[in-house]
A = this chain, B = another copy of it.
Amino acid sequence: MIDDTPQTSPLAPDAFPAMSSVDGVRMAAAQCNVRYVNKTDVMLAVMEPGTTAAGVFTQSKTAAAPVDWCRDMLKGGNYQDGTIKALIVNSGNANAFTGRAGIAAVEKMAAATAEAAGCRQEDVFIAQTGVIGEPIEVDKITASLPGLKADLGSNWENAAQAIMTTDTYPKGASATADIGGTKVTIAGIAKGSGMIAPDMATMLAFVFTDAALPREVLQNLLADSADKSFNAITVDSDTSTSDTVLAFATGRVENPEIAFYDDRALQDFRAKFDGVMTDLAHQIVRDGEGAKKFITIKITGAEDDGAAKKIGMTIANSPLVKTAIAGEDANWGRVVMAVGKSGEKADRDKLTIAMGGITIAELGQIADGYDEAPVAQHMKGQNIDIAVDVGISAGKATVWTCDLTHDYISINADYRT
């Protein structure tokens, strides 16, 4: 049922974007055959002295060993600003649910990467994605380090390709920003969800800047931005044990000093950083398993922003909403159902629902003189817009998802046939 050759998603961009280089960041990719035999599967990035780091991770209660490692690096007493930082990522084996051996593998990767990058083990960040529950042949990864070190350069696309699992295209985004009159650069790569037996979908993203930013500022920036980007997307509601988003600021560009997250001088940078993060998040949704349509869900009028996001994600995760959109039907009844299911404050008789900018239902019933024809036309397109006004207060949020199609079932049920 499923073609062995992955088809590029119909929602994929035409090409990998032209990326800005980020001063102080060098990277390389290699093929070490941890699992794949036909693609690069390991990526090393080395950030020069002066670098600060930040991270956000899966909320899973059964997180994988490399997630625990990174969290400890950032939260533990061993973190230092200003040292060389290194990032090692492999695809094909997530080193998840591998017991003590998995922890030992992470420690071995940290030691070997530290030696190659000339940094402390506590400055090595690790992410792993792929099959779970299988012992990882860590020597294959560490053996690739001398070659990776020799190849360090600035090829973002190679790096983005090496971290792919069943992604159908590499994902990257970059921007320039202004901090108090100084131009700085932001660039990031990501991988999305995809699954082959018994692989697990994992979302990884790494964002780099040459700006000089204290660790606390970078961490706040990243956490805040992740809430509006990677935490506002869903393919099928399932949560990986390995989701990892890391940010590194090399400080190679001497922008005016930023001491506080809410510094006005950071306004443009924050917007551009959010833009890169959101762009990467959208690319992940567009590569969702079986996705044929990219769906934007805007909620207004909720009790507060948190309630709006909960309502949005409940709509985005509803199999009935997602299948209706796959079927190109403007099934507003299923949207009402999802709003009610969210558990957030709502009033049946104050709800307004629009699709493609056209109001379908308002004040608790179908809109007077509603004409389905233009909405039906909108539903045939690749980009679907749903807007819900809850009519209660001023809370708002935007979330993104994709439709639920036969291909999703084929990819996730028929993978053994």
A positions within 8 Å CB-CB of B: 58-63, 96-99, 101, 131-134, 195, 197-201, 236-241, 317-320, 323-324, 326-329, 331-334, 336-349, 351, 361, 363-366, 404-406, 408-410, 412-417
Contacts and interface: CB of A to CB of B under 8 A. Distances in A.
25 contacts: A59-B343, A60-B337, A61-B339, A61-B342, A61-B346, A61-B348, A62-B337, A62-B347, A97-B333, A99-B363, A99-B365, A133-B361, A198-B332, A200-B333, A200-B337, A237-B317, A238-B320, A238-B337, A319-B408, A323-B409, A324-B412, A326-B413, A327-B415, A406-B409, A409-B409
B197 A320 contact: no
A320 B239 contact: no
Contacts of A318: 237-238
A239 B338 CA distance: 7
Nearest to A330: B198
Contacts of A331: 197-198
Given A333-B133, A341-B239, A348 B413 contact: no
Given A62-B337, A320-B201, A338-B238, A326 B365 contact: no
A245 B146 CA distance: 67
A96 B63 CA distance: 42
Contacts of A98: 365
Given A326-B413, A329-B415, A331-B197, A240 B337 contact: yes
Nearest to A341: B239
A348 B97 contact: yes
A348 B63 contact: yes
A216 B239 CA distance: 42
A241 B337 contact: yes
A201 B340 CA distance: 14
Contacts of A343: 59, 61
Nearest to A99: B365
Contacts of A236: 319-320
A413 B293 CA distance: 13
Given A99-B365, A238-B337, A341-B238, A326 B133 contact: no
Nearest to A241: B340
Nearest to A339: B62
A342 B237 CA distance: 11
A353 B345 CA distance: 37
A324 to B, nearest CB: 7
A99 B413 CA distance: 42
B61 A239 contact: no
Contacts of A198: 324, 329, 331-334
Given A346-B61, A409-B405, A340 B239 contact: yes
Most buried by B among A198, A201, A239, A320: A320
Given A60-B340, A63-B348, A97-B348, A237 B319 contact: yes
A240 B340 CA distance: 8
A151 to B, nearest CB: 33
Contacts of A345: 61
A341 B412 contact: no
A238 to B, nearest CB: 5
B409 A97 contact: no
A349 B133 contact: no
A285 to B, nearest CB: 15
A131 B415 CA distance: 36
Contacts of A361: 97, 133
